[in-house]
Amino acid sequence: KDVWVITRMWESQDYFAWLVSPNGISANPVVSTTQNYLTGDGTGKAGYLKASPDGRKIASVNYTPLNFIEISNFTL
């Protein structure tokens, strides 16, 4: 079964997703750009990413210092 490893780049608008399959990890990530620029003062680069059970949505929560929640569609 294939899975995706997803990250959110700090000080950017980009998500990166790598496909992990029985053949290995994809060499090049899928890059998705959002409207929200993730930035801060450098004192607390903390947050959380969570995919919905059906894999169609992803939530990004950043609590230092921006305090925001972003919910996006996840489709490829």
**Which pTM value belongs to this model?**
0.75
What pLDDT is attached to residue 40?
61
> Across residues 46-58, what is the average pLDDT?
85
Backbone angles phi, psi at 56, to 5 degrees: -95, -15
What pLDDT is attached to residue 68?
76
More confident residue, 40 or 57: 57
